[in-house]
Amino acid sequence: MNRDEMLERLLGEREPWDMVVVGGGATGVGVAVDAASRGYDVLLLEQSDFGKGTSSRSTKLVHGGVRYLEQGNISLVMEALKERGLLRQNAPHLVSDLAFVVPNYEWWEAPFYGVGLKVYNLLAGRYGFGESEVLSREETLARLPTIKTEGLRGGVVYYDGQFDDARLLINLAETAVEQGATLLNYAPVTALTRDAEGFVDGVVARDLESGRELRANARVVINAAGPFSDAVRRLADPALPGLIAPSQGIHLVFDGSFLPAGAAIMVPHTSDGRVMFAIPWHGHTLVGTTDTPIEEATLEPRPLEQEIEFVLETAGRYLRKPISRSDVRSVFVGIRPLVRSGDAKNTSALSRDHTIHIDPSGLLTVTGGKWTTYRNMAEDCVNQASTLARLPEKPCPTRNLNVHGFHRQASKFGPLALYGADALLIQDLARAEPELERPLHSALPISEAEVVWAARFEMARTIEDVLARRTRALFLEARAAMEMAPRVAELLARELHRDAAWQTAEVAAFRKLAQGYLVQ
Ligand SMILES: Cc1cc2nc3c(=O)[nH]c(=O)nc-3n(C[C@H](O)[C@H](O)[C@H](O)COP(=O)(O)OP(=O)(O)OC[C@H]3O[C@@H](n4cnc5c(N)ncnc54)[C@H](O)[C@@H]3O)c2cc1C
């Protein structure tokens, strides 16, 4: 994946694209994979970096959603459980099974959650992960040695999937390119063009690196801008009523000592009636999330003080080991692109199903849903987009399409496991330049070779691209990430032919951004 090549392809295209996708998150990149693998000509434009929006800021679960089962949304759960199975099949280097324990402190909880989680497993059918089980008090403590013991009766264990969201996104972008799609980051769509009859027939964008205006004609434009979908719709008609009710969720990240035995905790009912997770992730503990309605989406949402307090307080109720603000290694925030419903009282009651909406201008918006169901959303979207654009019908092959990096035994690559088959190439790179084997920082197992790899082959353009999404340093250890920044800038400058002034400005910009991931 090379940005100069992508730009050249875009500039060289004389025919209208079959589809132009606005937005490089899970939804947009999923659509690009689907469209390209069917044989359509597809261009995707992302205003910032791939995954800068919600798609790098999830809870990292590939799941059916136990909560939706409780809400009675069986079809959503079944669809998501099937997609969970397909994702593990197609990207085994990034999706793994994880044991979740629901600790029980009341007599009714074991039978209640025991039966509920059996049903959850049954709904997965042949896409099932491990069997759920009721645990004794001792078995619960063996899996969750740091849990509060006072009043603990036992627990229920069930299995779901876990992944690295930003890494999957980058691998999907690579898959799309391999299938023939053209993808460009740092290219915001600023206007939509219309044909003589008033239908949207293309986009105007800007290349943020050169400042150059880009134009692309399309048979259909697909708006996959997530929480920003209404802003893109209003490029066609500023008077359109909003489709999205944005709601933010935060996660706090701690070191790994809070969950030493490798199982996750699932709290089915917090004091505000939501689900909360504490999950082992990249040797750390990730706790979240919240569901706070917000007025407007921004690219760098900030946690509210009450959200931080709420997560700390809920974690403190279940963990024996004291937990406080000073333990927080990073805080990150994502915005759900939920679809509005006239009578919903709060955003946690809004549907997590996906929506495909076509405006009178012919602009197609695909939004809602969740990471787990991105493939199915994309299939549905491309079916409708090809009909709208009167393109020849072509079958969707993504159920059995391996994601870039596919490798069944990637764990043997140690800290490079997440790269799947690419791990071998990163090892070669380090072998050719042994100084690149050096870790960037003692706090995390990230090598300099990964920076070079990200710049050469994964379209990373900034320190943030490397430390937030190609690796997850910023999300795991914000302070250490700030310390890594100067060396990352040096390595990037060498790869991308940037000068010293660029390096200084990049380090300053990254440190300012990373301040927002610290809890003071
Ligand atoms: C806190 C939280 C936890 C979650 N946890 C899970 C989970 O564990 N499992 C799960 O399955 N799902 C989860 N989800 C849901 C999942 O993350 C989202 O459904 C999914 O990431 C949405 O992807 P998207 O592509 O629609 O939006 P985004 O990822 O936000 O992508 C939209 C992109 O459009 C770009 N864009 C906007 N305007 C323009 C423009 N004018 N030109 C070009 N580009 C533009 C943005 O920069 C952005 O990158 C969670 C969501 C949240 C908020």
Q: Report whether the peptide linkage leading into residue 504 is cis, meaning its omega lies within 30 degrees of zero.
A: no
* Residue with CA closest to ligand 1 atom 50: 58
Q: What six digits make up the tokens of 355? A: 């929506």
| 15 Cα to the center of ligand 1, angstroms | 30
What number is the average pLDDT over the span 42-49? 98
- For residue 249, the ligand 1 atom closest to its alpha carbon is 1
The Cα 289–Cα 276 span in angstroms is: 6
Confidence grade of residue 350 (pLDDT, cut at 50, 70, 90):
low
What number is the average pLDDT over the span 185-214? 97
Confidence grade of residue 352 (pLDDT, cut at 50, 70, 90):
low
Supply the pLDDT for residue 347: 58
Supply the pLDDT for residue 467: 98
What number is the average pLDDT over the span 179-197? 98
Confidence grade of residue 126 (pLDDT, cut at 50, 70, 90):
confident
- For residue 48, the ligand 1 atom closest to its alpha carbon is 47
Supply the pLDDT for residue 410: 97
Q: Which residue has the tokens 């995707």?
A: 44
- Helices 448-457 and 422-432 sit at what angle, rounded to 10 degrees? 120
What number is the average pLDDT over the span 202-213? 98
Q: What six digits make up the tokens of 326? A: 């000073």
Q: Which one of 55, 296, 354, 357 would you pick to mutate in the ligand 1 pocket, going by the greatest count of ligand atoms within 8 A of its CB?
A: 55
Angstrom CA distances, 82 to 67, 76, 130, 163, stand at 17, 10, 14, 16
Q: What is the mean pLDDT of the chain?
A: 95
Contacts of 484 (CB under 8 A, 6+ apart): 440, 441, 446, 467, 473
What number is the average pLDDT over the span 93-107? 95
Helices (H), 23-108: 26-38, 66-70, 74-90
Angstrom CA distances, 371 to 51, 56, 188, stand at 12, 10, 22
SS (H, E, C) 427-452: HHHHHHCHHHHCEEECCEEEEHHHHH
The model's pLDDT over 454-504, given as tens digits with 9 standing for 90+, comes to: 999 999 999 999 999 999 999 999 999 999 999 999 999 999 999 999 999
Is the pLDDT at 35 greater than 80? The verdict is: yes
How many residues can be counted in the chain?
Answer: 520
- For residue 26, the ligand 1 atom closest to its alpha carbon is 25
The Cα 198–Cα 205 span in angstroms is: 19
Supply the pLDDT for residue 353: 83
Is the pLDDT at 129 greater than 90? The verdict is: no
Pick the range with the lowest mean pLDDT from 54-63, 105-114, 232-241, 379-388: 105-114
What number is the average pLDDT over the span 223-251? 96
Supply the pLDDT for residue 55: 98
Q: Letter for the amino acid at 282? A: H
* Residue 21 CA, distance from chain mean position: 18
Q: Letter for the amino acid at 323? A: I
Q: What six digits make up the tokens of 222? A: 């697909």
Supply the pLDDT for residue 124: 87
To which H or E segment does residue 487 belong? helix 478-496
What number is the average pLDDT over the span 343-371? 81
Supply the pLDDT for residue 272: 79
| 55 Cα to the center of ligand 1, angstroms | 4
Confidence grade of residue 351 (pLDDT, cut at 50, 70, 90):
low
Confidence grade of residue 342 (pLDDT, cut at 50, 70, 90):
low
* Residue 62 CA, distance from chain mean position: 10
Alpha-carbon Rg for the chain in angstroms: 23
Question: Which three-class secondary structure state does DSSP give residue 190?
Answer: strand
295: phi then psi, degrees, rounded to nearest 5: -70, -50
Supply the pLDDT for residue 414: 96
* Residue 339 CA, distance from chain mean position: 18
| 345 Cα to the center of ligand 1, angstroms | 23
Contacts of 368 (CB under 8 A, 6+ apart): 337, 338, 339, 351, 352, 353, 354, 355
- For residue 372, the ligand 1 atom closest to its alpha carbon is 11
What number is the average pLDDT over the span 334-363? 79
**Closest CA relative to residue 418, chosen from 162, 116, 48, 70:** 162
What number is the average pLDDT over the span 10-16? 95
Is the pLDDT at 103 greater than 70? The verdict is: yes
Number of neighbouring beta carbons within 10 Å of residue 460: 31
The model's pLDDT over 137-181, given as tens digits with 9 standing for 90+, comes to: 999 999 999 999 999 999 999 999 999 999 999 999 999 999 999
Please list every protein residue whose CB sits less than 6 Å from any atom of ligand 1. Answer: 22-28, 45-48, 52-55, 58-61, 188-189, 224-228, 232, 249, 289, 334-337, 367, 369-372
The model's pLDDT over 417-433, given as tens digits with 9 standing for 90+, comes to: 999 999 999 999 999 99
Confidence grade of residue 25 (pLDDT, cut at 50, 70, 90):
very high
Pick the range with the lowest mean pLDDT from 113-117, 178-182, 333-337: 113-117
**Percent of the chain's residues with pLDDT above 90:** 87
State the maximum Cα–Cα separation within the chain, in Å, rounded to a whole number. Answer: 72
